[in-house]
Amino acid sequence: MEVLETITREKECIRCGATFTATMEKLALLGWPERPSEFKRRKEHCPDCKQKLRDEMAEKSKNAVLGWTDFDAVKEHFKENPPQKGDPLIIASFQYHTNEYLRVYVEVPEHTRQKRIIVNRGSTYGGSSFYRSGQSTYHPKGQTRLLPDHPVMSELFKAFGGRLSLTDDALAAVSRGEGIESFEKDRLGVVSLKKPKP
Ligand SMILES: [Zn+2]
């Protein structure tokens, strides 16, 4: 789209403090994305920090699904490791920006021709029936997924119980494969990283 006008402004990054030139373009048909006075006044991140923030967000969501960013990868995993009745799996729910994990066990490994996986209990939102991609049968686009077991999560369930909420830092430690001694659970049932003793 044609750029009709460009304004620039020297700004100081709100994260790293570096000085950088912010630009805003006025596009044909669309106009300014925001009022020029607002653009000049608004503090923002430098391009490097913007990229870092995007990377951090991607890392966070990858950790939250225990590395299973791809539904097809889950499907492939269950193809190579067909779940058996009684096998432990994990339901992950991300309602309202929380990271909740429920220890479940396979009840019916291959339900109907779709080979859906039925587990012994469901999450509040997603139910207990899942496609082999881990998507919830009743809410395939919902924020609830069935995931393969994970060695660190398995230890956490054993130590802290079958329904856990994890902080972003704790999830990063899970993905690094840290041992149970790195984690603690507070009175609200949230698992976080153990704070170093003063
Ligand atoms: Zn910066």
- Please tell me whether residues 9 and 99 are part of one structural domain: no
Final residue in a domain of this structure, among 62, 85, 100: 62
Residue 116 CB neighbours (<10 A): 16
Q: Which residue has the tokens 């704070």?
A: 195
Of 25, 40, 62, the residue at which a domain comes to its end is 62
Do residues 53 and 79 share a domain? no
Cα–ligand 1 centroid distance for 50 (angstroms) = 7
How far does residue 44's CA lie from ligand 1's centre (Å)? 9
- Phi and psi, residue 18, nearest 5°: -65, 150
55 and 71 fall within a common domain: no
Full domain range(s) for residue 119: 67-193
Give the Cβ contact number of residue 6 at 10 Å.
Answer: 9
Q: Are residues 107 and 154 in the same domain?
A: yes
Neighbours of 119 (CB within 10 A): 25
What is the C-alpha separation between 61 and 108, in angstroms, rounded? 29
Give the distance (Å) from ligand 1 centre to CA of residue 11.
10
Whether residues 92 and 188 fall in one domain: yes
- Which tokens sit at 171? 């999830």
Distance of CA 12 from the midpoint of ligand 1 (Å): 8
Give 88 Cα–ligand 1 centroid separation in angstroms: 44
Q: Phi and psi for 152 in degrees, rounded to 5? A: -70, -40
Q: How far, in Å, CA of 137 to CA of 145, rounded?
A: 10
Distance in Å, CA 83 to ligand 1 centroid: 47
Statement to judge: residues 86 and 109 lie in one domain: yes
C-alpha of residue 166 to centroid of ligand 1, in Å: 29
What residue ranges of the chain have pLDDT lower than 70? 124-125
Same domain flag for 85 and 150: yes
How far apart are the C-alpha atoms of 12 and 44, rounded to whole Å? 8
Residue 198: inside a domain, yes or no? no
pLDDT attached to residue 192:
96
28 with 79, same domain: the answer is no
